[in-house]
Chains A and B, each alone.
Chain A
């Protein structure tokens, strides 16, 4: 299943492309395949589509290196070449796009993005399964626990259990960021549902980097489906 991670205003959202179909192949996909840089599955996917799509097939076929590719390259590099000022300007303009995208790159390399990458295959939270079955909110259920560990070793636990004080069930979210030291004061756990707005659980961390939050007033269960991110606020 293809998932795409995109930065959004508040943090990170996960977009599920649907039924595992790659509806469009970019020129870069073709380049990856004809250069041998694509993984086998991606290459198979592209080529299988091309078998039944003559336009795509023609593009790929013409992009595959001919038998005399070596000669073509040798001819191109046979003489020294100078770079005109105009070309330098154009190339610098092109490369500047990578520089101006710095904020995006930084976001992609952020702790949150890296955590999300690690969690990509674990996004559906079985801890909420009983809640899905309940008619509304977090109804009748038994204790369920799920633990996720990020690349940095931050552990997020979900404990779902009935409240001692009444019928309202409770979800406890435990964050253990002690491996990162005492540099963070709180953690924001973002849980998203399909076509529903995300909601945040704020966990205050102790000097040791650990803490928990109990939540009883949760939105309808259908809204709480995926853990879409964990952010840690600096101390």
Chain B
């Protein structure tokens, strides 16, 4: 059954770097237990097997996880972040999260002992984030810098607006746009949703993403800004398939435009607009054109959702 379940698992998502430059210290922590043993014991529910198989793992790692959590907490405290838990709580929660993962179907994707150790430290980071008392500094509009005369009309461009559609469909269509523009164009014309060249929609997408990154950078703390950059890089590069150099240009422009206001004439952040123009050769021009193209993309997605998801998933 396990083999069957493994075979049915779709490909693993683009994995973050899990290969360590130096594994000696971690290798020492892999003695006395195995991924398969721990996984099978947890799935069996047999108390004796669980104690036998998991004890070497947690005895070897709980102290290190606690130290890892302590470092995270101290760094967070230095930035004024309140914590609801202590380091030991986070370490135990990390173990609990990973044990839960192992019991689940995703547990079959843990490759080996080193991989499990790295997942443990990532779980500790997740547990740390869970316990952070994050201030919701987005209760105010992310467009505070928009001139008052236009702020009321700018509701459609908040950073939390969906990207041309909801759910994974948006990523499927955007992935197609950046990896097979010709096919995207054919589908677009077939749907009669728009007639522009795919470069125009690439420009629109890059601007939208760049502006969202800019808004997150504007609102975030130093750590939050770094995290936001990682998030949007992951979305742009791994999920949408934007070339590294292209996204690098847009990312730099987004960073540069923090503190800026949209241009009075175009209602766009000029630094981002120009960077997008440089990388794609297409100009978003102004807010009106942006809205028209957004509407075209949304209509396109609505009409061709199934085809697009299918096409996108084939990339």
Residues in chain A within 8 A of chain B (CB atoms): 21, 27-28, 30-45, 47-55, 57-66, 69-70, 72-83, 87-88, 90-92, 94-96, 98-99, 101-106, 109, 114, 151
Contact = CB atoms under 8 A, between A and B. Distances in A.
A51 B163 contact: yes
Interface stretch (B103-111, B143-151, B178-186, B271-279): B103-111
Interface of B: 1, 4, 9-18, 20-22, 25-26, 28-29, 42-47, 50-51, 54, 58-59, 62-68, 71-72, 88, 91-92, 95-101, 103-104, 106-107, 109-110, 118-119, 121-123, 125-127, 129-130, 132, 134, 136, 138, 142, 159-163, 166-172, 212, 216, 223-224, 226-228, 230-231, 234-235, 239, 313
Given A64-B231, A96-B47, A76 B121 contact: yes
A134 B187 CA distance: 41
A7 to B, nearest CB: 13
Q: Which residue of B1, B29, B168 has the most chain A CB atoms within 10 A of its CB atom? A: B168
Question: What are the nearest 5 A-B pairs in CB distance?
Answer: A81-B63, A102-B45, A36-B15, A43-B13, A61-B227
A101 B136 CA distance: 37
B162 A28 contact: no
30 contacts: A27-B126, A31-B97, A31-B123, A35-B123, A36-B14, A38-B106, A40-B313, A43-B239, A44-B171, A44-B172, A47-B171, A48-B167, A51-B162, A51-B163, A55-B134, A57-B228, A59-B130, A62-B132, A63-B129, A73-B20, A73-B118, A76-B67, A81-B63, A81-B64, A87-B63, A92-B51, A104-B45, A105-B103, A114-B1, A151-B1
A60 B228 CA distance: 9
Nearest to B94: A31
Contact of A81 (B66, B136, B227): B66
B66 A66 contact: no
Contacts of A58: 134, 224, 227-228
A62 B66 contact: no
A61 B171 contact: no
B293 to A, nearest CB: 18
Nearest to B29: A77
A40 B10 contact: yes
Given A39-B11, A48-B167, A98-B103, A63 B126 contact: yes
A65 to B, nearest CB: 6
A192 B223 CA distance: 52
A48 B165 CA distance: 9
Given A33-B13, A102-B46, A70 B223 contact: no
B95 A91 contact: yes
